[in-house]
């Protein structure tokens, strides 16, 4: 593995995120990697990400596809003999990767999450039909055609509602005020 960068503060950044502090306790036993259903598809395994973070390889970690393949199934977290919250670490890597603009290209998961979040921020709820449509418009509109039979079959069974659930106007304003304040305050650390 070629090492291009070294950022000594990287481990501080990661361990300052709630749930990320355990990263210093890792003994590289590989239990997280062995437990991960998607480890095979990751360019760096979960335990490698920890080792790389401790080596200060910020750019390599944050541009990895690994955390975007994490399913949040929490098997690694419940099995870690050192009590590390590996799933929280994956979320921390994702957030930092977005903040640093490194979540590019190699997986569509960031675009999918972004479409989801756009709706949650603006409506306070998640209309599934709108979210999926928005996601395909952002990524690859042609792929949406392949999903048409699925959409029709869900629609036929009353499972694809077009209209979104709305909060009351006061509720929407309140949520917006809270989320805007959170953004102003920056990250959790």
Considering only 9, 28, 41, 140, the residue that binds another protein (CB under 8 A) is 41
- Quick check: 4 binds another protein (CB under 8 A)? no
Considering only 34, 113, 133, 144, the residue that binds another protein (CB under 8 A) is 113
- Quick check: 137 binds another protein (CB under 8 A)? no
Considering only 56, 116, 133, 138, the residue that binds another protein (CB under 8 A) is 116
Cα angle for residues 69, 89, 49 (degrees, 5° grid): 70
Q: Which is nearer to another protein, 7 or 38 (CB)?
A: 38
Q: Which is nearer to another protein, 55 or 75 (CB)?
A: 75
- Quick check: 15 binds another protein (CB under 8 A)? no
Say how far apart CA 49 and CA 38 lie, in whole Å. Answer: 14
- Quick check: 160 binds another protein (CB under 8 A)? yes
């Amino acid at each position: 593995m070629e090492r291009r960068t070294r950022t000594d503060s990287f481990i501080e950044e990661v361990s300052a995120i709630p749930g990320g502090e355990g990263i210093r306790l890792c003994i590289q036993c590989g239990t997280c990697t062995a437990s991960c259903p998607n480890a095979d598809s990751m360019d760096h395994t979960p335990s490698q990400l920890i080792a790389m973070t401790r080596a200060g390889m910020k750019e390599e970690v944050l541009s990895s596809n690994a955390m975007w393949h994490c399913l949040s199934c929490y098997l690694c977290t419940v099995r870690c003999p050192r009590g590390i919250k590996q799933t929280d670490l994956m979320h921390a890597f994702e957030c930092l990767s977005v903040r640093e603009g490194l979540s590019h290209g190699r997986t569509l998961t960031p675009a999918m999450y972004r479409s989801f979040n756009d709706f949650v921020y603006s409506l306070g709820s998640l209309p599934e039909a709108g979210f999926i449509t928005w996601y395909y418009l952002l990524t690859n509109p042609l792929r949406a055609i392949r999903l048409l039979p699925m959409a029709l079959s869900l629609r036929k069974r009353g499972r694809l509602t077009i209209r979104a659930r709305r909060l009351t106007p006061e509720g929407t304003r309140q949520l917006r005020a809270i989320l805007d304040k959170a953004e102003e305050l920056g990250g959790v650390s």
